[in-house]
Structure formats: C-alpha cells, structure tokens
Structure 1
C-alpha cells in the first residue's frame, strides 16, 4: 500500500469518527501512522484530499468489478447491486458508506467534491450501460435504452445504500434488493425477452 493509499484510508476513518464538520488535517493525522507532514506534502488542501479519496475508492471498486469472474450480464448487475446496497457491517452500519454519505452531502457546497462525484457517476452509469449492451448483444436482455436504464438502476442502488446508512436496521434493504432484482432486472430486462421469445 502506498503512502497515498494510507492517507486515503486514514481520511475515511477520521471522517467516520468525527463527521465532515469536525474533519481536520489533525484528525486525519491521528489515524495516520506516519508523520502528519506527509499529508500536507501529498495534498495541497483538505478539499484536494477529499476529492482524491472519492476518485481512489471509485477506481478501486470498479477495478474489483472488472476482475469479477462472473460474465452473465444479469448476475453482473445483481452482484453490483449487492456490493453497493449491502454495505452494512456487523454493527449495522458500514463505516465506508457512512463516510461516503458525508461527502455526498457536502457536494452542493463544494465544487471540487461535486465535480469528482459527477465524474464518478458518469463512469458508473457507463459501466452499467455496458453490461446492458452486453446482455442485449447476447440475446438475454430485451432492447432497451442502456443509458436510461443505467440512470434508473444507479439511482435505485445509491438510494438504497443511503437508506442503509441513514436508517440502519430500519432500512428496507431486503425489500429494495428484491425490487431491484424483480422489477428492474427481471421485468424490465429479462422476463420481457423470455416472454417475447415464447410468443414467437
């Protein structure tokens, strides 16, 4: 793990522990095993550090997905939903998702965060759209607009993730996942294709 990666990890830990309002370079330094001066050496400001955190975590998550051995388009979508939505830890709250929600909440007031989140979102939607295109080409999904579906799917899984963080054990996570699987994936993409094939 590089020094930059260690700083990113320390930042997310500090963000979860202190919240955005009380997040300082000193608080991050308390979670960092090396000299705090290294944080200032690698990053010009807290805003620069937080934008980099968003970019790094986003890239690592997509890299993990790209190395997923699952090739079936339907299962790829469902696995993606599970990874994004199912982020509760043993105590009912996932530290990473809590910290991520803190950053998202600041985006309307922080141009650097908003721009990075917009870039991340565009990549996410294109990744989902690519899965849908693969499914259409393989004949397992019906013809839909991949970009429209990607925007809907992305909004659904991100909303369910936020519910997990905000509501904890009271979040309707299982219902959300059931709806994503049954209504978004099966009915919009899969079942319609099977029905059309049977009618033919």
Structure 2
C-alpha cells in the first residue's frame, strides 16, 4: 500500500483535526485525501479498521520520536520529554482534542484500548529502562524505576487531559514532571 497508506493516514489526521472523532466519517477522510470513499474501502473495510491502522501508524511515529542512541541516561530522559511535551510540528491544532476523543472511546472499542495500552506500555518500558540504567551507573539517585516510570506516564496522561479539557499549556505539565524527576533522581531532565 505504501504511498496510498501514508496519504490515507495523513488525510485521517487532517479529518480528525477538522471534524473530531464524533463527526469523523469515511467520506470526510476521503475528501481530505482526494480519493473516493470506494478507494478508502478498498484498503479499509470500516472507519474503525482505518482508525486502528491510524493508531498503529501514530504509535510507530511516536516510538521513532522517542529513539535516542545516547549512552547518557539524562540525555535520553530529555529526548523522551521533548517527544512528549514538544510535539512534532505537524501534531498541532485540534489533534490533541481528537486524540482525547479516541481515548474516550477506548472503553467501548478494544482495538483502540489495545493500541493506547501499547503506547502507554512503551513509554513506561522506555522510562523504566532509562531510570534503571541511570541508577545502576550512579547517574541517578537510588529509586524504584518501575514506580518512577508509572508515575511519570500518569503525569503525562493527566497533563494531556488538562491541556485539552482546561486549556493548560503543555509546559505546565512538563514543569511538574521535571520537578518530580529532579527530586526523585537528583538530576535535571
């Protein structure tokens, strides 16, 4: 599918931003893609199937943004926070609202829940490994890496909800996460 898949994912993103989850239709995605609705159905039988593929694509892109080859755990932690709190240029506008709408559908759509759980687990695993390495090397203060990872990911999720629901700037959430990490790990992230 290649280019067609990338074009459809991009159109899905644009349609989600413009219409939100509740008003998203295959026709609106087709309109955003410049393809016919029939062409979309050639690749995806249903809107849910297309959104599952979109969430998979989003997870792949997010994981690519989290990648950091640095041997320094503090640098990897900073890269992680940049990926979470300083989204890519194309992740702007109404997308955080649309993502929260998808999250709100997760209790009713197991495939959405599965993909969101995978994203959460990936963030926790990456954080836990980074913190464990930092503790082991002496770069970070002694702590329980699993607890730190779970707490930070919970703060990130809460920050996203506060951003969308209350208009709180992402920087406020990042400041809280950084303060927690500085107190817990003994270093600035």
Q: Report the TM-score when normalising by structure 2.
A: 0.85
CA-atom RMSD in angstroms: 2.3
Call closer, same or farther: CA 1:70–1:95 in 2, change over 3 Å.
Answer: farther
Which residue in 2 is equivalent to 1:9?
10
Which residue in 2 is equivalent to 1:24?
25
Q: Structure 1: 5+ residue runs without aligned partners?
A: 192-200
Distance 2:163 2:71 in 1: 28
1:185 aligns with 2:181: yes
Query: What per-residue deviation string (whole Å, max 9, x for no partner) do you get for residues 118-138 of structure 1?
Result: 122112211111111221232
Partner SS, residue 165 of structure 1: helix
Q: Structure 2: 5+ residue runs without aligned partners?
A: none
How far is 1:49 from its partner? 1.2
Q: Report the TM-score when normalising by structure 1.
A: 0.81
Distance 2:45 2:17 in 1: 22
Distance 1:154 1:65 in 2: 14
1:136 aligns with 2:135: yes
Distance 2:52 2:71 in 1: 32
How far is 1:140 from its partner? 0.7
Rg larger for: 1
Call closer, same or farther: CA 1:166–1:149 in 2, change over 3 Å.
Answer: same
**1:62-81 to 2 correspondences below 5 Å:** 62-66=63-67, 68=68, 70-81=70-81
Which residue in 2 is equivalent to 1:161?
160
How far is 1:64 from its partner? 2.5
Which residue in 1 is equivalent to 2:146?
147
Highest RCO, 1 vs 2 (Cα 8 Å, sep ≥ 6): 1
Which residue in 1 is equivalent to 2:82?
82
Distance 1:96 1:39 in 2: 21
Distance 1:175 1:111 in 2: 32
Partner SS, residue 2 of structure 1: helix
